Amino acid sequence: MQVFNLQLPSLIRREEEEKWVPVTKLGRLVKEGKIRSLEQIYLHSLPIKEYQIIDTLVGPGVLKDEVMKISPVQKQTRAGLRTRFKAFVVGGGNGHVGLGVKCSKEVATAIRGAIILAKLSVIPVRRGYWGNKIGLPHTVPCKVTGKCGSVTVRMVPAPRGAGIVAARVPKKVLQFAGIEDVFTSSRGSTKTLGNFVKATFDCLLKTYGFLTPDFWKDTRFTKSPFQEYTDLLGKPTKALILEDVERTEA
């Protein structure tokens, strides 16, 4: 298994730096500064459909990404075999991790699409302790199992200093997620890198699915941002664009 660390071409970077005009309600609220953290989005289970939302909330340089694998895939057509490239990209940092998979005719386009999908699929990773609650959380809070295809990945909390006991593929994902110590085991066709990465991602996704006693507190329900800022979202989008242009010119 080879791990690729490729940088995006300057053309792609230039496209990402262009002016962002949000087209979704959530994007407009983020652009206006009404939503300032990813936790507000996760609390109300709001769908993220613009990758610029992640860039704005997290900030530049916080999220890191790495191309795990680029493999050619073929499809039989009337004209013959059509070859495309499939890219697997993992990204994250500071308790968040995302996974993106994209096929394209060109390698650069596949990488760019996978990075965008990885940003759109960013999830929070819950961290906990192995024993006494001393210092910052460093491992998974409980035993969790993730599955994709024939690959099954199981994670067990580890004491501080044990490190990440895992294969190279899940180890990279766990490093992006911010987990420092964990024991892992895997079974199935782990040579299939795509399923191995997805099973690890599914494992991390389930860390918030187990209700531990420290989550047994009474929940205080708050209004959804869409309800709280109804007046702002009721304004036409064109007016917001014109206001933004006027601010830039001023």
Is 199 a residue whose pLDDT tops 50? Answer: yes
pLDDT at site 219: 79
- Looking at the domain 144-210, which fold is it? Ribosomal Protein S5; domain 2 (3.30.230)
Least confident of 33-42, 161-170, 185-194, 219-228: 219-228
Q: How far apart are CA 175 and CA 169, in angstroms?
A: 10
142: Cβ–Cβ under 8 A, 6 or more apart, which residues? 128, 157, 207, 210, 212
Domain boundaries in the chain?
10-124, 144-210
- 8 Å CB contact between 184 and 153: yes
Q: What is the pLDDT of residues 55-78, one digit of tens each?
A: 999 887 788 999 999 999 999 999
Mean pLDDT of 108-116: 95
Write out the two tokens for 181: 């110590």
Sheet arrangement for strand 144-148: 144-148, 151-157, 182-187, 164-165
Q: How far apart are CA 31 and CA 233, in angstroms?
A: 12
CA 201, 202, 206, 208 torsion-angle sign: positive
Mean pLDDT of the chain: 88
CA 66, 71, 75, 81 torsion-angle sign: positive
Q: What is the pLDDT of residues 6-42, one digit of tens each?
A: 444 444 455 555 688 888 999 999 998 899 999 999 9
The architecture of the domain spanning 10-124 is 2-Layer Sandwich (3.30)
- State the angle between helix axes of 193-205 and 168-177 in degrees (0 to 180), rounded to the nearest 10: 30
- 8 Å CB contact between 87 and 111: yes
